Amino acid sequence: MAGKPILHYFDGRGRMEPVRWLLAAAGVEFEEKFLKTRDDLARLKKDGSLMFEQVPMVEIDGMKLVQTKAILNYIASKYDLYGKDMKERAIIDMYVEGVADLEIMVLYYPHMPPGEKAAALTTIKDKARNRYFPAYEKVLKSHGQDYLVGNRLSRADIALVELLYHVEEMDPTIMANFPLLKALRTRVSNLPTVKKFLQPGSQRKPFDDEKCVESTKKIFS
């Protein structure tokens, strides 16, 4: 039997957090090796583990996968969270990419220079409230089903619910006018695997705080 996937990244959300969410929702246990210093990153580069000299890197099924999207695509395919046919997969990709466009701004926000944060926060809230959340609310309203695609849990639901939690941390009122998104979040949060991941002490990472931001500087700059 293959061992647990091993995630190589720093001890914070960053680009790895969607991978943690997807594995956890799929009920897959994983290990993490946290980079702490530039030397840790240099070691991985030197031994050829990082194709583009970047993390996230995930050891899974005998591969050393880099590129976040490739990692997520593999996990979603393997654990049947990627639709039933090509058309569903295309729709899932479209929804996931929409989430990713906002999520990358959210995940990068704590790492921004202080002088740029206020404007970034305004943009994030505006895009959430007026572009992305209404789009997904409309999808759920259009078909009246429990999940975004095919009335079945997919990676799109998991990615969206992760985003909802993250944006709400930045603005607790942001979900006020999106009842169907709230219902989706409740439904997904109550799945036993996700419920477990949402408990304190899980491998879910908190908002990247000052300490985390400082530690990333020691690794990447």
Interface with ligand GSH by CB under 6 A: which residues? 14-15, 53-56, 67-68, 220
Helices (H), 8-67: 17-25, 38-46
Q: What are phi and psi of 33, to 5 degrees?
A: -115, 110
Taking the least distance from each CB to ligand GSH, the nearer of 49 and 203 is 49
Min dist CB 214 to ligand GSH, Å, is: 15
Q: What are phi and psi of 217, to 5 degrees?
A: -65, -35
Q: Are 126 and 134 in contact (CB under 8 A)?
A: no
Q: Which long-range contacts (CB under 8 A, 24 or more apart) does 189-196 make?
A: 189/161, 191/25, 191/153, 193/24, 193/25, 193/26, 193/27, 194/24, 194/25, 194/158, 194/161, 196/24
Min dist CB 143 to ligand GSH, Å, is: 31
Taking the least distance from each CB to ligand GSH, the nearer of 68 and 154 is 68
How many residues in total does the chain contain? 221
Q: Are 46 and 125 in contact (CB under 8 A)?
A: no
Min dist CB 216 to ligand GSH, Å, is: 8
Taking the least distance from each CB to ligand GSH, the nearer of 71 and 81 is 71
Taking the least distance from each CB to ligand GSH, the nearer of 67 and 189 is 67
Taking the least distance from each CB to ligand GSH, the nearer of 126 and 209 is 209
Instruction: Round to whole Å and give the CA distance between 164 and 173.
Output: 11
Min dist CB 14 to ligand GSH, Å, is: 5
Min dist CB 198 to ligand GSH, Å, is: 24
Looking only at the bridges linking them, the beta strands covering 6-9 and 31-34 are: parallel
